[in-house]
Amino acid sequence: MTKIVPNGKVHPVAALFPMMSDEELGELAADIKENGLLTAIVLDEDGTLIDGRNRSAACELAGIKPIYEQLNGPDPVAFIMSSNDRRRHMKLGQRAMIAAKVRALMNNSSTTREVSKRAEVDQSYIARAAVILEYASEQAEGVISGAISLMDAYAEAQKRKKAVASEEGRMQRLRENAPDLAALVGEDRMSLSEAVGAMSAREQEAMDQARLVDQERQLATSHLEQIVSSLALPNWSVEQMAENYLSLYDLKHARSEITPEILATCADVLRKLSQNWNQKSVTKKPKK
């Protein structure tokens, strides 16, 4: 079994949780020096620290060699949040802010419900924390450390949110995203409300168009995968595949007529795809 060693990196979600105070860290170091490290420091397969930043720092203070073990499970985020919730007496607001930052770190790929379940915090608190991150992000660390309450930071974020929604805020958004409409407002040829409405309509149209294009891509990809998987079975020759389809094809099960001309067109399309496939910028499925 390969011995796992730390690579000096800390998982970004683990880094969100505040470190112990110097006094608390000193007490932990003294305990480790007297009783040894009772809970191993958890690393992933690459050596990135998943759990145990405080224990690692305390071992260094105590002059004790740390004990490491590899993460057992595929979800480091769930493990980190569960471990820290068990070991720390964190306030609701602190946990909510960390949960919101975890969601932001994951590019909002997880829903508020999923993060809420992991952090064992009501979704409404995470929603407030998300508003703080968007409009008063400099207060987030204060909430996590406990120096600022979640509700105080949320009140400030709400004030800023309303300011952004004010006339100047809307005008600034127009200048950034639709300068032609902003110019019309400046020339008194369109009201601010009309311009904002027109910009929103544009944005919605662009989103709808992007969604349609993505749906078309998914459909075309699925169709091509089905065609290729049915025509390129491993260990089958071209002759065997053709003979198989010829022998099994039954007109009574067909939904449309297949003619030699149609088959020739299909062959031409596949031949053209084969000739031009290397021009695709991505030919391999991206890693998740």
**What is the distance between the terminal CA atoms of the chain, rounded to a whole angstrom?**
27
Please name every residue paired with 41 in a beta bridge, in sequence order, or none if there are none.
Answer: 68
Name the DSSP letter for residue 12: T
Average pLDDT in the chain:
88
pLDDT band for position 187 (50/70/90)? very high
What does the pLDDT average to over 61-82?
A: 89
pLDDT band for position 155 (50/70/90)? very high
41 three-class SS: strand
Q: What is the pLDDT of residues 99-133, one digit of tens each?
A: 999 888 877 666 777 777 777 788 999 999 999 99
Radius of gyration, CA atoms only, the chain:
29
Could you tell me which of 71, 81, 128, 74 has the C-alpha nearest to residue 105? 81
According to the model, what pLDDT value does residue 288 have?
47
Please name every residue paired with 49 in a beta bridge, in sequence order, or none if there are none.
Answer: 10, 43
40 Cβ neighbours under 8 A, 6+ residues apart: 52, 66, 67, 68, 69
What does the pLDDT average to over 141-156?
A: 94
Taking the CA of residue 284 as centre, how many other CA atoms within 13 Å lie in the half-sphere pointing to its CB? 3
According to the model, what pLDDT value does residue 131 have?
95
Name the DSSP letter for residue 250: -
On whether the CB atoms of residues 171 and 185 are closer than 8 A, the answer is yes
116 Cβ neighbours under 8 A, 6+ residues apart: 99, 122, 123, 126
According to the model, what pLDDT value does residue 62 have?
94
Give the C-alpha separation, 260 to 119, whole Å: 61
Structural element, H or E, at residue 49: strand 49-51
On whether the CB atoms of residues 5 and 47 are closer than 8 A, the answer is yes
* Position with higher pLDDT, 4 vs 114: 4
Write the burial class of residue 20 (CB in 10 Å: 0-12 exposed, 13-18 middle, 19+ buried). middle
Domain 14-79 is in which class?
A: alpha beta
Could you tell me which of 70, 82, 109, 66 has the C-alpha nearest to residue 17? 82
Q: What is the pLDDT of residues 199-238, one digit of tens each?
A: 999 998 888 898 889 889 888 888 898 898 888 888 899 9
Give the C-alpha separation, 107 to 77, whole Å: 14
What phi and psi, each to the nearest 5 degrees, are found at residue 190? -155, 140
What is the sign of the dihedral through the CA atoms of 131, 136, 142 and 146? negative
